[in-house]
Amino acid sequence: MTKSIIISKHGGPEVLEFKDVNVGSPGPEEIKIKNLAIGLNFIDTYHRSGLYKLNLPSGIGMEGAGIVEEIGPGVKYFNKGDRVTYSQMPLGSYSEKRIIPEKIAVKIPEGVSEKVAASIMTKGLTSHYLLFKTYKVKAGELILFHAAAGGVGQVFCQWAKSIGCRVIGTVGSDSKIDIAKENGCEFVINYNNEDFDKKVLEITNNKGIGVVYDGVGKKTFEKSINCLKPMGMMISFGNASGALDPINVKKYIAHKSLFFTRPGLADYGAGRAALEEGTNALFKQIKFGKIKIKIFKEYNLSDAKKSS
Protein backbone atom coordinates (compact mmCIF):
# COMPACT_ATOMS: atom_id res chain seq x y z
CA MET A 1 0.00 0.00 0.00
CA THR A 2 1.05 3.57 -0.60
CA LYS A 3 -0.23 6.94 0.56
CA SER A 4 -2.28 9.32 -1.55
CA ILE A 5 -4.54 12.33 -1.10
CA ILE A 6 -8.15 11.47 -1.94
CA ILE A 7 -11.25 13.67 -2.00
CA SER A 8 -14.69 12.10 -1.46
CA LYS A 9 -16.61 15.39 -1.58
CA HIS A 10 -16.00 18.93 -2.80
CA GLY A 11 -15.15 21.70 -0.37
CA GLY A 12 -12.29 23.42 1.41
CA PRO A 13 -8.90 21.99 2.44
CA GLU A 14 -10.63 19.82 5.03
CA VAL A 15 -11.87 17.44 2.28
CA LEU A 16 -8.29 16.33 1.48
CA GLU A 17 -7.88 12.84 2.97
CA PHE A 18 -4.46 11.19 3.48
CA LYS A 19 -5.23 7.54 2.73
CA ASP A 20 -3.71 4.17 1.88
CA VAL A 21 -4.26 3.13 -1.74
CA ASN A 22 -3.31 0.10 -3.81
CA VAL A 23 -1.44 1.29 -6.90
CA GLY A 24 -0.88 -2.04 -8.68
CA SER A 25 1.06 -2.42 -11.92
CA PRO A 26 0.93 -0.32 -15.09
CA GLY A 27 -1.15 -1.41 -18.06
CA PRO A 28 -0.38 -0.95 -21.76
CA GLU A 29 1.46 2.31 -22.51
CA GLU A 30 1.51 3.23 -18.82
CA ILE A 31 4.34 3.81 -16.37
CA LYS A 32 4.49 3.56 -12.59
CA ILE A 33 6.11 6.57 -10.95
CA LYS A 34 7.61 7.08 -7.50
CA ASN A 35 6.97 10.77 -6.96
CA LEU A 36 9.91 12.69 -5.51
CA ALA A 37 8.25 16.11 -5.84
CA ILE A 38 4.71 17.30 -6.49
CA GLY A 39 3.67 20.62 -8.00
CA LEU A 40 0.93 22.81 -6.53
CA ASN A 41 -1.29 24.81 -8.88
CA PHE A 42 -4.27 27.09 -8.48
CA ILE A 43 -6.31 24.74 -10.65
CA ASP A 44 -6.02 22.18 -7.83
CA THR A 45 -8.34 24.38 -5.78
CA TYR A 46 -10.85 24.41 -8.66
CA HIS A 47 -10.93 20.60 -8.60
CA ARG A 48 -11.09 20.43 -4.82
CA SER A 49 -13.83 23.05 -4.44
CA GLY A 50 -16.05 21.71 -7.22
CA LEU A 51 -15.69 24.67 -9.59
CA TYR A 52 -14.45 21.99 -11.99
CA LYS A 53 -16.60 18.97 -11.16
CA LEU A 54 -14.99 15.56 -10.62
CA ASN A 55 -16.36 12.05 -10.41
CA LEU A 56 -15.82 11.29 -6.74
CA PRO A 57 -13.96 9.83 -4.98
CA SER A 58 -10.91 11.10 -6.83
CA GLY A 59 -7.23 11.79 -6.53
CA ILE A 60 -6.09 15.36 -6.97
CA GLY A 61 -3.13 17.20 -8.46
CA MET A 62 -1.89 17.40 -12.05
CA GLU A 63 1.86 17.76 -11.76
CA GLY A 64 4.78 15.82 -10.39
CA ALA A 65 8.27 14.45 -10.94
CA GLY A 66 10.04 11.28 -9.93
CA ILE A 67 11.54 7.95 -10.93
CA VAL A 68 10.04 5.29 -13.20
CA GLU A 69 9.62 2.13 -11.11
CA GLU A 70 7.86 -0.06 -13.66
CA ILE A 71 6.78 0.12 -17.30
CA GLY A 72 3.75 -1.48 -18.92
CA PRO A 73 3.51 -3.29 -22.26
CA GLY A 74 4.12 -1.14 -25.32
CA VAL A 75 5.92 1.71 -23.54
CA LYS A 76 8.22 3.41 -26.08
CA TYR A 77 9.85 6.37 -24.40
CA PHE A 78 10.88 5.29 -20.89
CA ASN A 79 12.82 2.67 -18.97
CA LYS A 80 12.94 1.75 -15.31
CA GLY A 81 15.05 4.29 -13.43
CA ASP A 82 14.39 7.24 -15.76
CA ARG A 83 13.79 10.61 -14.15
CA VAL A 84 10.50 11.96 -15.49
CA THR A 85 8.08 14.80 -14.98
CA TYR A 86 4.48 15.22 -16.04
CA SER A 87 1.38 17.39 -15.95
CA GLN A 88 -2.16 17.23 -17.36
CA MET A 89 -4.92 14.73 -16.69
CA PRO A 90 -5.55 12.24 -15.17
CA LEU A 91 -5.51 13.73 -11.69
CA GLY A 92 -3.64 12.09 -8.85
CA SER A 93 -0.18 13.61 -8.44
CA TYR A 94 -0.72 14.14 -4.69
CA SER A 95 0.59 10.65 -4.04
CA GLU A 96 3.72 8.72 -3.11
CA LYS A 97 3.39 6.47 -6.16
CA ARG A 98 1.01 6.41 -9.10
CA ILE A 99 0.42 5.07 -12.59
CA ILE A 100 0.22 7.53 -15.49
CA PRO A 101 -0.07 7.30 -19.28
CA GLU A 102 3.39 7.61 -20.79
CA LYS A 103 1.97 10.17 -23.24
CA ILE A 104 1.85 12.89 -20.55
CA ALA A 105 5.43 12.39 -19.30
CA VAL A 106 8.85 13.61 -20.43
CA LYS A 107 12.38 12.96 -19.23
CA ILE A 108 13.97 15.52 -16.94
CA PRO A 109 17.18 16.85 -18.52
CA GLU A 110 20.49 16.93 -16.69
CA GLY A 111 20.92 20.04 -14.58
CA VAL A 112 17.22 20.30 -13.66
CA SER A 113 16.11 18.94 -10.28
CA GLU A 114 12.92 17.01 -9.63
CA LYS A 115 11.69 19.86 -7.43
CA VAL A 116 12.14 22.44 -10.18
CA ALA A 117 10.59 20.13 -12.78
CA ALA A 118 7.55 19.43 -10.60
CA SER A 119 7.03 23.12 -9.87
CA ILE A 120 7.25 24.33 -13.48
CA MET A 121 5.49 21.94 -15.88
CA THR A 122 1.93 23.27 -15.77
CA LYS A 123 2.96 26.91 -15.39
CA GLY A 124 5.69 26.63 -18.02
CA LEU A 125 3.67 24.76 -20.63
CA THR A 126 0.80 27.20 -20.09
CA SER A 127 3.17 30.11 -20.65
CA HIS A 128 4.54 28.45 -23.79
CA TYR A 129 1.21 28.02 -25.54
CA LEU A 130 0.03 31.49 -24.47
CA LEU A 131 3.12 33.16 -25.92
CA PHE A 132 3.73 31.09 -29.03
CA LYS A 133 0.45 29.45 -30.04
CA THR A 134 -2.69 31.17 -28.76
CA TYR A 135 -1.24 34.57 -29.71
CA LYS A 136 2.20 34.76 -31.30
CA VAL A 137 3.92 37.67 -29.61
CA LYS A 138 6.58 39.78 -31.29
CA ALA A 139 9.72 41.39 -29.91
CA GLY A 140 8.98 44.95 -28.90
CA GLU A 141 5.24 44.32 -28.52
CA LEU A 142 3.44 45.75 -25.49
CA ILE A 143 1.20 43.14 -23.82
CA LEU A 144 -0.95 42.98 -20.68
CA PHE A 145 -0.82 40.10 -18.20
CA HIS A 146 -3.06 39.90 -15.15
CA ALA A 147 -1.82 38.41 -11.84
CA ALA A 148 1.77 38.98 -12.90
CA ALA A 149 3.13 38.01 -9.47
CA GLY A 150 1.33 34.63 -9.45
CA GLY A 151 2.76 31.25 -10.37
CA VAL A 152 2.04 31.41 -14.10
CA GLY A 153 2.66 35.14 -14.15
CA GLN A 154 6.22 34.92 -12.87
CA VAL A 155 7.17 32.36 -15.51
CA PHE A 156 5.23 34.05 -18.31
CA CYS A 157 6.66 37.52 -17.66
CA GLN A 158 10.27 36.29 -17.51
CA TRP A 159 9.78 34.37 -20.75
CA ALA A 160 8.04 37.28 -22.47
CA LYS A 161 10.83 39.67 -21.50
CA SER A 162 13.49 37.23 -22.73
CA ILE A 163 12.01 37.38 -26.24
CA GLY A 164 11.79 41.16 -26.22
CA CYS A 165 8.19 41.85 -25.17
CA ARG A 166 7.27 44.83 -23.05
CA VAL A 167 4.94 43.67 -20.28
CA ILE A 168 2.29 45.56 -18.38
CA GLY A 169 1.49 43.45 -15.35
CA THR A 170 -1.36 43.77 -12.88
CA VAL A 171 -1.31 42.61 -9.26
CA GLY A 172 -3.88 42.48 -6.47
CA SER A 173 -1.84 44.22 -3.76
CA ASP A 174 1.05 46.65 -3.42
CA SER A 175 3.12 43.93 -1.74
CA LYS A 176 3.29 42.11 -5.09
CA ILE A 177 4.49 45.06 -7.19
CA ASP A 178 8.19 44.36 -6.66
CA ILE A 179 7.71 40.66 -7.46
CA ALA A 180 6.14 41.54 -10.80
CA LYS A 181 8.94 43.99 -11.61
CA GLU A 182 11.62 41.46 -10.66
CA ASN A 183 10.08 38.99 -13.11
CA GLY A 184 10.13 41.30 -16.11
CA CYS A 185 7.20 43.72 -15.98
CA GLU A 186 7.99 47.21 -17.27
CA PHE A 187 4.78 48.64 -15.82
CA VAL A 188 2.87 47.27 -12.80
CA ILE A 189 -0.69 48.27 -11.84
CA ASN A 190 -2.57 47.30 -8.67
CA TYR A 191 -6.01 46.54 -10.13
CA ASN A 192 -7.64 46.93 -6.71
CA ASN A 193 -6.38 50.51 -6.34
CA GLU A 194 -6.36 51.82 -9.93
CA ASP A 195 -8.51 51.60 -13.01
CA PHE A 196 -6.04 49.53 -14.98
CA ASP A 197 -7.83 50.13 -18.26
CA LYS A 198 -7.36 53.89 -17.94
CA LYS A 199 -3.70 53.36 -17.03
CA VAL A 200 -3.13 51.10 -20.05
CA LEU A 201 -4.70 53.64 -22.37
CA GLU A 202 -2.50 56.31 -20.80
CA ILE A 203 0.62 54.21 -21.40
CA THR A 204 -0.39 53.58 -25.02
CA ASN A 205 -1.54 57.15 -25.82
CA ASN A 206 -5.13 55.86 -26.11
CA LYS A 207 -4.20 53.34 -28.81
CA GLY A 208 -4.79 50.25 -26.68
CA ILE A 209 -2.95 46.94 -26.89
CA GLY A 210 -3.19 43.89 -29.09
CA VAL A 211 -3.59 41.20 -26.45
CA VAL A 212 -4.70 40.72 -22.85
CA TYR A 213 -3.81 37.54 -20.94
CA ASP A 214 -6.35 37.13 -18.14
CA GLY A 215 -6.19 34.41 -15.50
CA VAL A 216 -8.20 36.45 -12.97
CA GLY A 217 -11.59 36.15 -14.63
CA LYS A 218 -14.77 37.90 -13.59
CA LYS A 219 -13.20 40.87 -11.82
CA THR A 220 -11.00 42.01 -14.69
CA PHE A 221 -12.97 41.05 -17.81
CA GLU A 222 -14.78 44.28 -18.70
CA LYS A 223 -11.80 46.57 -18.14
CA SER A 224 -9.61 44.16 -20.08
CA ILE A 225 -11.91 44.59 -23.07
CA ASN A 226 -11.48 48.37 -22.70
CA CYS A 227 -7.70 47.97 -23.02
CA LEU A 228 -7.82 46.29 -26.41
CA LYS A 229 -7.37 48.05 -29.72
CA PRO A 230 -9.54 47.06 -32.70
CA MET A 231 -9.02 43.43 -33.74
CA GLY A 232 -7.22 42.73 -30.48
CA MET A 233 -7.42 39.40 -28.66
CA MET A 234 -8.84 38.69 -25.22
CA ILE A 235 -7.31 35.49 -23.82
CA SER A 236 -9.20 34.18 -20.78
CA PHE A 237 -7.42 31.21 -19.19
CA GLY A 238 -8.33 31.29 -15.49
CA ASN A 239 -11.00 32.07 -12.89
CA ALA A 240 -9.14 33.34 -9.82
CA SER A 241 -11.87 35.91 -9.05
CA GLY A 242 -14.73 33.71 -10.29
CA ALA A 243 -15.98 32.34 -13.59
CA LEU A 244 -17.00 34.74 -16.35
CA ASP A 245 -20.65 35.56 -16.87
CA PRO A 246 -22.12 34.74 -20.29
CA ILE A 247 -20.55 37.18 -22.76
CA ASN A 248 -22.65 39.77 -24.53
CA VAL A 249 -21.01 39.54 -27.95
CA LYS A 250 -22.58 42.72 -29.30
CA LYS A 251 -21.50 44.75 -26.28
CA TYR A 252 -18.01 43.41 -25.69
CA ILE A 253 -16.74 41.81 -28.90
CA ALA A 254 -18.44 43.21 -32.00
CA HIS A 255 -17.85 46.91 -31.38
CA LYS A 256 -14.09 46.58 -32.00
CA SER A 257 -14.04 43.35 -34.03
CA LEU A 258 -12.29 41.65 -31.11
CA PHE A 259 -11.23 38.03 -30.77
CA PHE A 260 -12.06 36.07 -27.61
CA THR A 261 -10.59 32.68 -26.74
CA ARG A 262 -10.55 30.31 -23.79
CA PRO A 263 -7.44 28.15 -24.34
CA GLY A 264 -6.39 25.12 -22.31
CA LEU A 265 -3.33 22.94 -21.93
CA ALA A 266 -5.36 19.81 -22.65
CA ASP A 267 -5.71 20.95 -26.26
CA TYR A 268 -2.56 23.00 -26.86
CA GLY A 269 -0.38 20.38 -25.18
CA ALA A 270 -2.05 17.32 -26.70
CA GLY A 271 0.19 14.76 -28.39
CA ARG A 272 3.84 13.81 -28.00
CA ALA A 273 5.07 16.40 -30.54
CA ALA A 274 3.35 19.33 -28.78
CA LEU A 275 4.45 18.12 -25.35
CA GLU A 276 8.09 17.79 -26.35
CA GLU A 277 8.07 21.11 -28.20
CA GLY A 278 6.82 22.90 -25.10
CA THR A 279 9.03 21.14 -22.57
CA ASN A 280 12.18 21.43 -24.70
CA ALA A 281 11.64 25.17 -25.03
CA LEU A 282 10.86 25.49 -21.31
CA PHE A 283 13.87 23.54 -20.05
CA LYS A 284 16.13 25.47 -22.46
CA GLN A 285 14.98 28.74 -20.89
CA ILE A 286 15.64 27.34 -17.40
CA LYS A 287 19.09 25.94 -18.20
CA PHE A 288 20.20 29.20 -19.82
CA GLY A 289 18.94 31.23 -16.87
CA LYS A 290 16.25 33.08 -18.82
CA ILE A 291 13.61 31.72 -16.45
CA LYS A 292 14.61 31.50 -12.80
CA ILE A 293 12.51 29.34 -10.50
CA LYS A 294 12.06 30.27 -6.85
CA ILE A 295 10.27 27.60 -4.82
CA PHE A 296 8.28 29.57 -2.27
CA LYS A 297 7.37 26.80 0.17
CA GLU A 298 7.52 23.04 0.60
CA TYR A 299 5.15 20.65 2.39
CA ASN A 300 5.04 16.98 3.28
CA LEU A 301 2.33 15.02 1.47
CA SER A 302 0.62 14.39 4.81
CA ASP A 303 0.33 18.17 5.26
CA ALA A 304 -1.54 18.76 1.98
CA LYS A 305 -4.34 20.54 3.81
CA LYS A 306 -1.90 23.26 4.85
CA SER A 307 -0.87 23.86 1.22
CA SER A 308 -4.40 24.33 -0.08
Mean pLDDT computed over 70-89: 96
Mean pLDDT computed over 149-162: 95
What is the value of pTM for the model shown?
A: 0.90
Helices (H), 13-64: 42-49
Cα separation of 19 and 34, whole Å?
A: 16
Neighbouring CB atoms inside 10 A of 149's CB total 23
Cα separation of 214 and 212, whole Å?
A: 6
Domains of the chain: 2-120 (3.90.180.10), 139-265 (3.40.50.720)
Could you write out the three-class secondary structure of 82-105? CEEEECCCCCCCCECEEEEEHHHE
Q: Does 308 have pLDDT greater than 70?
A: no
Cα separation of 205 and 250, whole Å?
A: 26
Average pLDDT of the residues of the chain: 94
Whether 105 and 75 have beta carbons less than 8 Å apart is answered as no
Angle between helices 114-129 and 151-162 in degrees, nearest 10: 70
**126-149 tens-digit pLDDT:** 999 999 999 999 999 999 999 999
